Structure formats: structure tokens, C-alpha cells
A and B are shown apart, each in its own frame.
Chain A
């Protein structure tokens, strides 16, 4: 950067004094798409003044794979395994959001046991998503490996549960229109209950690592502040919105599934900085454990799938529906328009991490390059969902 280029143009410019060092001149840096901290193939064009970010332009589309167009060309059921691949950390909640919108479209009732199973799996998904996010965030801050491995150890226990229930760790493809695919055995429920019972012990341990740690506090407090009004006006959802102190949770607002039957609180932040976003995940995990404990007590026996729903030749009536759930990353919605055919006329995903990512520049301005990584990590993005 300090090399002097002896061109006519450079010589005609007034000399830059050593004191002002490129003051007013911005250096453009392309971060990514293969940067290890960008959580996938994500690129940022950053204009720097010294080390301070003055402009930031997110560039994405490297993982674009025509998800919505594929959804319009395969049958309704055929889209279900593709939804696993949107946010590959939370395939269960993706399945649920898609199943919910198709059920809304076709007016399908879901049996009680299936609703409870869905809640159990969604909350387990929330646990493992938040746990791995915290691991990655600490990784981005320079605590290489160790916290991430602790987080992945706990995540793997939950993924083992998913594997023994649905057959696959991450690509679960578990939910069907009008219920679930496989019934959970009593042994599975007992095993899940045991894992959930000892889970708070791990959350305590993780909290010990984070809370009060000088490095974490210095790197996160007052970094990437997001104001309440900006968050609302840009459509941010999920823990990021609640970290700004906005009480908005689709589980409470929309009352989908059997969530009104459960007692749980919505944790809210105060400052909207990265530290609040981090603590929001820890508090949400504690609430999820509470929901899971209630669900294990209340789960009834009975059928898990509505027998009226056909697997083959499923044709919902003409109409449109938007089904949304509170995915671990925010509001995940599927908008479907049916023309009465075997595949949707329009299939649109409202991905939480894509919309949360649009605010990145506003949060990063005025911070250093090293903070950009932490802020990006606290948004919790998965490129499979951003690019679709």
C-alpha cells in the first residue's frame, strides 16, 4: 500500500503528507467469499479509512441454486426435502414452516401428538442452533476451537436424536402435510428428556466462559449497535430484533401450533449491541428448555399424521397462503400460490437471515474490520438460506 507509483497522474496529485496518511481516501478491500469467518460463501466490499469501516456492501449469490424455481416445478411433497437445505442447521423448523403453509393452503388438520412432536423438535433445533452460533461467535472473536468444540459436542447430542428419529442428522425431511413421518418411541422421548434435563448444565458452563470475560466484553459491548426504530423499519426479526428491546416473537404473536398452551417468557435486550444479541441466545435456550420440559409432560398418545392427506397426487385448492414460524434465526415464512395443480404456481421463501443481513452496513459503520466479523457472526446467517 505504501508503494509509490510514479505515473504522471500520481505526480500531478498534491503530495500526501506523512501526518495525514491517506486521510479522506478510502481503501477498498474485498472480504470473502472464502474468508473463514463469513460462515459460507459471502463477500463484503469494505471501504476502509485506516482500519475504520466507512462503507460496506454485502455481495451474495454464490450459493444460489434456484430454490424457489425448483419449488415451482416439483410437487408439493417434493419441495419438502429441498427445504432442509435452506438453513441446514435448522431443517426441522424449515420443514415445519413449509408444512404449515401447505396446511393453511389446503386446510389440513394436524393431530395433537404431531403438534407436540413438532414443538419438541423445533425447540431442540433452537437449542442446537443457538449453541453452535455461540461457538462460532467465540471462534470469530479469537477463542479458536475450544468453545466451538464444546458447543458442537452438545449439538451433536441433539443431532443424534434427530438421526435416530428421522434417519438423518441434518437433512431430516421429517414433517409431512398433516403430521410427521415417523412416530417417536417412548425410548426416544426418554432419551430426549434426559438430554434436555442435563442441557442447562452446559448452558451454565458456556455462560461462565462468556459472562464477565474481559475479552468478550471488550469485543462485544457497544459494538454493532442497532437502534429500535431502524430494526423495526427494516424488517429485522428474531433474536436480533428482541435484542433491541422489541417484544415481538411469532410464537406469541401468531400462536401457531400449540404454543399458546405453553408457559414461556420472551427475553428482551436493552442496548441492541452484540453483547445483548449474544446473551439473548443464552436466555432463549433457557426458555426453550422450559418449553421442552412442559412438552414432554403433556405429550399425548395418538396418531401422528392426518390419514386424509394423500402422499401422491396431492392437489390443494386454488388459493394462496403464507405460513410463518419463529425459526431460531427469525421469522421464516413460505408464501404459496396454488392454481389447483400438483405443483405451486408461486413458491416464495421469506428467509430470516437474508433480511437480517440487509442491516449489516448500518451496524458496521465506524467500527474496525475485526468488529465486522463479530457483528456478522452475531446476526446468525446461513448462506444456504441467504442465497437459496
Chain B
């Protein structure tokens, strides 16, 4: 009979319509700005720079090694290395980025910078409401805009942050132990030990 297929289709529509009042599975929309679905923990959007302590500039973990700048597929990172060294979060004198810009209109949030960073200095953010009224300067994130505290990182991705914290404390302890072991050894003139500043950070990828 002509028309049965259409009636069958209408029955499906009616079932979905009525069902949306009773079944949560059938009503999945949320009223966005007021209501929000929680973001999954792995969610990623645009990188930021992690700093330890209170000072957002002095506490930056970034040592301006420029690996992320080199590896970034769309080349959206621009770094200028400092001329002098400053003590980093572990008290070791390190270079720091004089300029660290990310053009977020170019960035595609692929998180390759996070994967290649040997110092756990750059991480993925979860902020997605980034629209601005200005096309140029507002979309070029400077070092001050990018710096976010480790507490913030712990808040947005607790599992990853705990893992990173554990790695860094282990590295700091290992470095302290090595220093303690190297201190008496340095007094012996016979065995030449490399100066501590040349030692690579223990978290550096072995490549």
C-alpha cells in the first residue's frame, strides 16, 4: 500500500518527539551558555606556559631551548632566547625566553609542542571561549598571557599534573642526591667531574 513507508517514518519521528520528554538519551541538547557539559579530562585547546611559585615570569619552567618552535607543524611559536641566565624553579641558572609568542590564529592544538618539551614547561589549556573583537594583537598571545600557574594546571588536568609533579620531584631529589655525591668528589683533584651546570636535566628526552 502506498504511504505505509511514510507512516512508518512518521512513527519514528513521533517516538523520538514523545521520547524526548521522558528519555534522557533522546534529549541531548543543553542550553549552552547557561548549561554546560563538563569537559573531558583529556580535552585540549591551545598551549600555555607553566610557572611554579608566585612570580609568573621568574617561575617559568621554559628554558628557551626552542625545540617546540622547531617542531611546531604550522610554525606558530616564536621564541627569543635571553642573553643572561636566571635561576629556575630548581635554583639552577638557566636561560629564559625573552620573547615567547604563540599566534593562536595559526595554532591547531595538535599538542606536539607538549610532547616534545623535555622540561614539562608547555601544556595544553582547556579554555575554548577565546573570541575577541580584534583580529591582530589580541590573537597573538605574549609571554605574560601564556603564563599560567602550576595550580591552574593541577586544577584543569589533575591526573596529568600529578604525574608531572611526581616526575619533577623525583628529578629534583635525584639532582640533589647527585650534587651531594658530587660535592665530596669535587674535593678530590684526581677525578675530574663535570660542573653541575652542564648536566642535562634528568627529565630531558634521550635523543
Contact = CB atoms under 8 A, between A and B. Distances in A.
A77 B72 CA distance: 10
Interface stretch (A113-121, A209-217, A318-326): A209-217
Contacts of A217: 5
B12 A208 contact: yes
Contacts of A165: 42
Interface residues of A, number: 37
B108 A171 contact: yes
B87 interface: no
Interface stretch (A50-58, A229-237, A307-315, A366-374): A307-315
A182 B112 CA distance: 13
A153 B20 CA distance: 12
A182 B110 contact: no
Interface centre among B42, B43, B115 (most CB of A within 10 A): B42
A161 to B, nearest CB: 9
Contacts of B108: 81, 171
Interface in B1-44: 2-6, 8-9, 11-13, 16, 26, 28, 40-44
A213 B71 contact: no
Interface string A176-219: 00000110000000000000000000000100110111111100
Interface in A335-386: none
A81 B3 CA distance: 48
Nearest to B42: A167
Contacts of A313: 207
B44 A82 contact: no
Interface residues of B, number: 32
B63 to A, nearest CB: 16
A146 B13 contact: yes
B116 A212 contact: no
A312 B205 contact: yes
Interface centre among B12, B73, B111 (most CB of A within 10 A): B73
A163 B110 contact: no
B71 A75 contact: yes
Interface in A135-169: 146, 150, 153, 156, 160, 163-168
Contact of B111 (A75, A150, A167): A167
A312 B73 contact: no
Interface string B185-207: 00000000000000000000101
Contact of B71 (A78, A82, A211): A78
A209 B109 CA distance: 39
A173 interface: yes
B146 interface: no
Interface string B76-114: 000000000000000000000000000000001111100
Interface of B: 2-6, 8-9, 11-13, 16, 26, 28, 40-44, 67, 71-73, 108-112, 115-116, 124, 205, 207
